[in-house]
Structure 1
Amino acid sequence: MTGPVYAVDGQAISLSGGNLSYVIVVALIAIAALVMAALFRREVLAAGEGTENMQRIAHAVQEGASAYLNRQFKTLSVFAALAFALLFLLPGDAGVRIGRSIFFLVGAAFSAAVGYLGMWLATRANVRVAAASRDNGREPAMRIAFRTGGVVGMATVGLGLLGAASVVLLYEGDAPSVLEGFGFGAALLAMFMRVGGGIFTKAADVGADLVGKVEQGIPEDDPRNAATIADNVGDNVGDCAGMAADLFESYAVTLVAALILGSAAFGAEGLVFPLIVPAIGALTAVLGIFLTRAREGESGLKTINRAFFLSAAIAAVLSTIAAFAYLPGTFEELEGGIGSEHDGDPRLLATGAVIIGIVLASVILWLTGYFTGTDKKPTQDVGRTSLTGPATVILSGFALGLESAVYTALVVGAAVYGAFLLGGGSLLVSLFLIALAGTGLLTTVGVIVAMDTFGPVADNAQGIAEMSGDVEGEGAQLLTELDAVGNTTKAVTKGIAIATAVLAATALFGSYMDVIGRELTAVGETLDSLRDDTSFALTIVTPSVLVGVIIGASVVFLFSGLAISAVGRAAGAVVFEVRRQFREDPGIMAGTSRPEYGRVVDIVTKDSLRELATPGLMAVMAPIAVGFGLGVGALAGYLGGAIASGVLMAVFLANSGGAWDNSKKIVEDGHHGGKGSEAHDATVIGDTVGDPFKDTAGPAINPLLKVMNLVSVLIAPAIVTMTIGPDANDGLRYTIAAVAALIVVAAIWISKRRSAVIGDQELARESASV
């Protein structure tokens, strides 16, 4: 099924045989990436699993992670079915609507598959890394951990490319419209997995730390702590499954935005070149994974960074070659697009945009590493404040997060504006180049995902080593070092994911404007014909637009608050349960009794799944309420406000949490009094505050921005139809807005009511038992 997607001049776009051949090659590269993932997986599973005791602990983590994700997917299947039906009801060609709904399910399934694959392998690699550190040393342990991430990274790029290329091959000119469904499915699933996994992992982590480290004075992964298994399970369902799904949807949604705008700006070539660039990234990702080999006396972080920068540099060179080999030298030679309206060289513009994206990824890596690394002054300063108590630890980490957010936001803003300037005055070309910068950043995603998965694998490996007692001396010290490296790589990948989210959201913002323009043209109107209260006025002082900006920024704050509150609620339940077990069974502390690990896993599983509905409903319904209630101009302001506040909030939460976590590592390495000191207690409290910041609320903002932008793109035609033209219906659109707003209010009210009830019940139980 093929059909036109209309460029600015109204010309229908179709792909020639040569362009179709390129797309087929991209699809083959995607399949090759999946084959490499299978090969890396086989290598990881071939490694030794250590002692029987280590294997028993790892098996408990595997069971808990699988049980949680299976229950989560059953819960999410209801949301997927509803979204599938609603997408089909949107206006448009029947073939496109069917394709969009089907590929919504494909995108959701791919996102879930990447997340599940990451979790499944990470829960089997952790024990192998622990065994390698004990028996073989640094290089084999690092290789296993990073190759585990390599499996997830290659699966991410492989499935992302395969999905996008398949849509282009099947739908050609209608591909951008169908890809909206693919991106929406990936983003929606990722947001749910990010929120649910984040609540699970941080509730268990916070509860384990507060009772184990602070109250009982036992190590983090002491087997006497009933929350330790849940904590290790959480690393996998949050940092592996959740983050892998998050990065996959970043990959998918960026491609969606690039293809929507590329078809209008560059014509047929705009449907193909955005696929070529990440295909190059798939090849360089393999190289980056192979280059990650520890050298004698070299820190693990330096090894990983070297591989990243080398693969990024090679991707920049190959992308430049691809641009000059594939794209014509003038806009007149493009097959469709804006034609002679632009006098630039498409090859130079595309090359510049891709390089901006690659440079952005490199700068974010350096900047995030500077603010969160254990060997850098900012985090060391946070660790030093532990000498004066937890309050100063909180204050210094909070200040670090706020400051680092400004620098990161300015860097991302500079990249966006740089790509915009390349457009040479054409808004459409500028927006496409911003999206193309996002695809440039995607060339590093394979290595980025590997870096992220490295973190929880190393963390779990240390936990298994400590709980089993079978790894001592140099092996134990190596795992501690790798755990600290993993904290930094996780923070780095969160920073890069945020940058990708901003580029994708900005490009989708442009796609939203393009959709509005095309819908107005279809009913014989222009932007100027819209009423004042719904216009795209180019000044923010238009009341409806300003109100939209405020609401958009507010949603990010509310979303973050709800996520952090959910962690606090679930962590409280964990604290009560672990205290109860210590109190009722003295043999646990004496080491003669085994804690009831399953009760804690069950608590955080139920609480995290119960919290999924509120943020999901808010992400989908809030844009509907603003768009239908206040108009397309207000919805544009809403998206702008959400993007601006989202990038600052996400970086602030991620970097402050990362700094608190690594400041704790600094103290645990023997500085400022070491483990068991008052300084250590202070940094543990800082870490527990930072846990929901960096691993729940902060990362979840990335898919939130893209879900809201995609919902806006999808509903834009209906808003225009109900606002102006022969089918205008104010009564219906205001009714839709009111229903959407009521759903959001009801979900928030239920969430806040649940908070009070859970707290009262647990407090009553605790008081009754004393």
Structure 2
Amino acid sequence: MLESAPQSAESALSGGDTVLVAIVLVVALAALGFAAFLVRAVLAADQGTTTMRDIARAVQEGAGAYLQRQFRTLAIFAVIVFLLLLALPVSEGGWGTRLGRALFFLIGAAFSATVGFVGMTLATRANVRVAAAARSGGYRPAFRIAYRAGGVCGMFTVGLGLLGAALALLLFDETAPTVLEGFGFGGALLAMFMRVGGGIFTKAADVGADLVGKVEAGIPEDDPRNAATIADNVGDNVGDCAGMAADLFESYAVTLVAALILGQVFFGAVGMVFPLVVAAIGVIASVVGILASNPGKADRNGLAPINRGFFTSAVVSLLLVAAASFTVLPSVSELQNLSVSPQVLGFLAVLAGIVLAVAIQLLTGYFTETSRRPVRDVARSSLTGPATVVLSGISLGLESAVYAALLIGGAVYVAFLIGGGAALYAVALAGCGLLTTAGVIVSMDTFGPVSDNAQGIAEMSGDLDEEGARTLTDLDAVGNTTKAITKGIAIATAVLAATALFGSYRAQIDTALAKANATLGDAFNLVSAKTVVGVIVGAAVVFLFSGLAISAVSRAAGRVVFEVREQFRTRPGIMDFSERPDYGAVVDICTKDSLRELATPGLLAVLAPVAVGFGLGYGALAAYLIGAIACGTLMAVFLANSGGAWDNAKKMVEDGQFGGKGSEAHAATVIGDTVGDPFKDTAGPAINPLIKVMNLVALLIAPAVVALSVGDDANTPVRTVIALVAVLIIVGAVVVSKRRSVVVGGAPSESQEALTTTAP
């Protein structure tokens, strides 16, 4: 059982604290200014041939149209949640705090959408420039453009996240942590929707394009004769750029929220200010890291400059945080059971987070890089068919999940040992430390889809020589690894943030119980039936969420397969280039399906904690969160690393090993890659915001759950009705989702027959 923390009496900002927060605000604005500088540098590059520009324009239009439709859909959810937040009680403050929390929910959602939109918009303009640079200048200029495009997204992530947190602290002072619950929830909820929607879009197109194009028609991945190619390139941007950018933004915002809440509990105002100072240091370190990532002649491969930028950023962060810890934090604390001074606590906790980021980066790289044994073993298994490819990838993912979970668990344990009486605050600071490199992490992630798109545009246009094609292939392989690494770091961040939020939930329960003059009792008893049920349900929700996401990709990919096969069958001129495929039809299928599939996983994430909390009580809800965090950690790493390994194994075979393109080994790795696509780009990454959304929902409903459970206001019938309504909505959404099929028009038998018609 977690120890209850004392509430600090000095929770209002002093004059010096206000100055520090104002400086942090300036640093946040400077991050946005540096992003503008990078934008100009990217857009100044040449856009290549007319054919390249035409293809890039189609991708830009498709991605922009998708995001506009998605934002219109999500605006309905935002309004509903805004009204619900106004109705829910707050633990501290009155109606002004309620309104602030609801407004900052909208701000968090808007910032998350902005990060996604900016990242996607620049990525769709950088990809053609990377292709043009590979054609005329070679590896170094192409790398520089791709990485700087990612840098824009990274600086928007840290800039807007820090801006929102600093504004809330300046405007609301003592009640800022409660207001920031709304800010974090807005970012997390929108990120989850963008992650799921974008993931379904991109993998439906990718799977459909691979199965019909590569396996059945025997044409290259980005061959212009494949009607799914434009949709595939669009999907890279709405999934990997917009979705991942929003995901990392909400990780950044939610970690700050948890740190501010717990900082106020344990150390008052200075405890709230210090995480913002650490985040501001991260902005400076990220700028240094991005600038240090220029490739040099001595670099052995594309990962060398990326690793140099990451490790440079980590070292700069550590040095500056050491200085900040011993100047911002007090040397002694009123807490009697604090194992070290607050200054040492702050430095060591952030150090633990930075070390965890480095360890996750190295571990994920080992399991997903083409030069390492695990991926080479997966590629070699293609010689015996697709079954062994799938089995080897699954076993790799399962094994790597154990090591990643041990690393993350070790970091949490070290933070607990460091923190003593302020253990949860140390965990939150470890999360802040991990995210001091957030700008570089997002740059690494966006680098992947930009490089992938550049290769697709070059192949579709045919305007690239062999050397240029090799350059883009190398960049794409590096991008696959960086995407896997950033997914691993994002998962670690999600666990630290969720653990800290769990502590915030406990603090909310204590506050609400004190108001009701009630005691905790045995609600957190580990051997009670409700606790066991809560843990099991929490783990089960992660499985159900993952299943829904992968099933949605399967259905949408089926429709894409049907459409591409139909176009090959009814337009025979496509194969000899005398007819042009209808790219827009596939884009439309992916857009409609991805937006239609958003509701079910979203309702599950929001309403499952409501059902458990009101139905079984706040103790069972705490157990539910523990089950979700533990299971989500393992599941997310398993899905991400399996998918990344399958993807790079396919790249190895396409580069000529084990038979090369067109061989049976190639077909086997393509099948493995299509299995891994929804693993690594839909379900796996979406688990990160899922566990944080559920923790934030628990945090928001905690006062209401306690109010209806104890004291004179206890109302079991109302609690039961709320829980039943939540369960019925979830069940109804799942039933509706499962009844959808891959049928596209016509009678089921006709559609099924069409689905089995192979391309000529």
| Contact 2:743–2:752 (CA under 8 A) maintained in structure 1 | no
Aligned to 1:11: 9
**CA distance change for structure 1 residues 25 and 7 in 2, over 3 Å: closer, same or farther?**
farther
Counterpart residue identity of residue 139, structure 1:
R
Aligned to 1:586: 572
Counterpart residue identity of residue 9, structure 2:
Q
Counterpart residue identity of residue 47, structure 1:
A
| Contact 2:31–2:156 (CA under 8 A) maintained in structure 1 | yes
Aligned to 1:381: 377
Aligned to 1:575: 561
Following superposition of structure 1 onto structure 2, how do residues 65-80 of structure 1 map, counting pairs within 5 Å?
Answer: 65-80=63-78
Does 2:307 match 1:314? no
Following superposition of structure 1 onto structure 2, how do residues 442-453 of structure 1 map, counting pairs within 5 Å?
Answer: 442-453=435-446
Does 2:459 match 1:466? yes
Aligned to 1:40: 38
Following superposition of structure 1 onto structure 2, how do residues 309-458 of structure 1 map, counting pairs within 5 Å?
Answer: 309-332=311-334, 339-340=335-336, 342=338, 344-424=340-420, 426=421, 429-458=422-451
Q: Distance in 1 between matches of 2:201 and 2:339?
A: 54
Aligned to 1:700: 686
Deviation at 1:307, TM superposition (A): 1.1
| Contact 1:122–1:236 (CA under 8 A) maintained in structure 2 | yes
Q: Distance in 1 between matches of 2:6 and 2:672?
A: 53
Q: Distance in 2 between matches of 1:408 and 1:198?
A: 23
Higher mean alpha-carbon deviation, 751-760 vs 284-293, is at 751-760
Aligned to 1:24: 22
Aligned to 2:510: 517
| Contact 1:142–1:294 (CA under 8 A) maintained in structure 2 | yes
Q: Distance in 2 between matches of 1:712 and 1:446?
A: 29
Q: Distance in 2 between matches of 1:379 and 1:761?
A: 43
Deviation at 1:757, TM superposition (A): 6.0
Aligned to 2:79: 81
Measured on the aligned residues, the alpha-carbon RMSD in Å equals 1.3
Does 2:649 match 1:645? no
Aligned to 2:524: 536
| Contact 1:330–1:343 (CA under 8 A) maintained in structure 2 | no
| Contact 2:59–2:124 (CA under 8 A) maintained in structure 1 | yes
What per-residue deviation string (whole Å, max 9, x for no partner) do you get for residues 226-253 of structure 1?
0000000000000000000000000000
What per-residue deviation string (whole Å, max 9, x for no partner) do you get for residues 164-200 of structure 1?
0000000010000000000000000000000000000
Q: Distance in 2 between matches of 1:688 and 1:753?
A: 23
What per-residue deviation string (whole Å, max 9, x for no partner) do you get for residues 326-373 of structure 1?
1121014xxxxxx45536310101100000000100000000000000
| Contact 1:374–1:380 (CA under 8 A) maintained in structure 2 | yes
Q: Secondary structure at the match of 2:740?
A: helix
Higher mean alpha-carbon deviation, 754-763 vs 580-589, is at 754-763
Runs of 4+ displaced beyond 2 Å: 9-12, 339-344, 755-770
Q: Distance in 2 between matches of 1:631 and 1:457?
A: 47
Q: Secondary structure at the match of 1:444?
A: helix
Q: Distance in 2 between matches of 1:556 and 1:585?
A: 43
Deviation at 1:306, TM superposition (A): 1.3
Counterpart residue identity of residue 433, structure 1:
A
**CA distance change for structure 1 residues 310 and 743 in 2, over 3 Å: closer, same or farther?**
same
Does 2:296 match 1:291? no
| Contact 1:360–1:441 (CA under 8 A) maintained in structure 2 | yes
**CA distance change for structure 1 residues 720 and 54 in 2, over 3 Å: closer, same or farther?**
same
**CA distance change for structure 1 residues 357 and 760 in 2, over 3 Å: closer, same or farther?**
farther
Aligned to 1:256: 257
Deviation at 1:764, TM superposition (A): 2.2
Q: Distance in 2 between matches of 1:7 and 1:75?
A: 41
Deviation at 1:472, TM superposition (A): 1.3
Does 2:565 match 1:562? no
Deviation at 1:543, TM superposition (A): 0.7
Q: Secondary structure at the match of 1:723?
A: coil
Select which of 475, 488, 500 maps to 1:507.
500
Counterpart residue identity of residue 504, structure 1:
A
Q: Secondary structure at the match of 1:594?
A: coil
Normalising by structure 1, report the TM-score.
0.96
Q: Distance in 2 between matches of 1:16 and 1:648?
A: 43
Q: Distance in 1 between matches of 2:463 and 2:151?
A: 27
| Contact 1:383–1:664 (CA under 8 A) maintained in structure 2 | yes
Q: Distance in 2 between matches of 1:691 and 1:662?
A: 12
What per-residue deviation string (whole Å, max 9, x for no partner) do you get for residues 284-319 of structure 1?
111111111112252111110111011101101110
| Contact 2:150–2:443 (CA under 8 A) maintained in structure 1 | yes
Following superposition of structure 1 onto structure 2, how do residues 103-252 of structure 1 map, counting pairs within 5 Å?
Answer: 103-252=104-253
What per-residue deviation string (whole Å, max 9, x for no partner) do you get for residues 661-713 of structure 1?
00000001110010010000000000000000000000000000000000000
What per-residue deviation string (whole Å, max 9, x for no partner) do you get for residues 259-308 of structure 1?
00010111111110000001101001111111111122521111101110
Aligned to 2:537: 551
Select which of 61, 64, 72 maps to 1:63.
61
**CA distance change for structure 1 residues 572 and 520 in 2, over 3 Å: closer, same or farther?**
same
Q: Distance in 2 between matches of 1:578 and 1:181?
A: 44
Does 2:608 match 1:615? no
| Contact 1:331–1:344 (CA under 8 A) maintained in structure 2 | no
Q: Distance in 1 between matches of 2:44 and 2:412?
A: 44
What per-residue deviation string (whole Å, max 9, x for no partner) do you get for residues 74-98 of structure 1?
0000000000000000013101100
Q: Distance in 1 between matches of 2:729 and 2:751?
A: 33
Aligned to 1:722: 708
Aligned to 2:616: 630
Does 2:488 match 1:495? yes
Q: Secondary structure at the match of 2:464?
A: coil
Counterpart residue identity of residue 556, structure 1:
V
Q: Secondary structure at the match of 1:298?
A: coil
**CA distance change for structure 1 residues 633 and 660 in 2, over 3 Å: closer, same or farther?**
same
Counterpart residue identity of residue 39, structure 2:
R
| Contact 1:7–1:263 (CA under 8 A) maintained in structure 2 | no
Q: Distance in 2 between matches of 1:320 and 1:743?
A: 50
Q: Distance in 1 between matches of 2:116 and 2:754?
A: 42
Normalising by structure 2, report the TM-score.
0.97
Q: Distance in 1 between matches of 2:226 and 2:336?
A: 69
Counterpart residue identity of residue 640, structure 2:
A
Deviation at 1:767, TM superposition (A): 2.5
Structure 2: gaps of 5 or more residues = none
Q: Distance in 2 between matches of 1:758 and 1:548?
A: 40
| Contact 2:8–2:265 (CA under 8 A) maintained in structure 1 | no
| Contact 1:569–1:759 (CA under 8 A) maintained in structure 2 | no
Counterpart residue identity of residue 524, structure 2:
F
What per-residue deviation string (whole Å, max 9, x for no partner) do you get for residues 521-542 of structure 1?
11212212xxx5xx111x2x21
| Contact 2:5–2:507 (CA under 8 A) maintained in structure 1 | no
| Contact 1:269–1:327 (CA under 8 A) maintained in structure 2 | yes
Q: Distance in 1 between matches of 2:619 and 2:5?
A: 22
Counterpart residue identity of residue 84, structure 1:
F
**CA distance change for structure 1 residues 9 and 206 in 2, over 3 Å: closer, same or farther?**
closer
Q: Secondary structure at the match of 2:579?
A: coil
Aligned to 1:685: 671
Q: Secondary structure at the match of 1:755?
A: coil
- Aligned residues: percent identity? 67
**CA distance change for structure 1 residues 366 and 768 in 2, over 3 Å: closer, same or farther?**
closer
Q: Distance in 2 between matches of 1:212 and 1:598?
A: 17
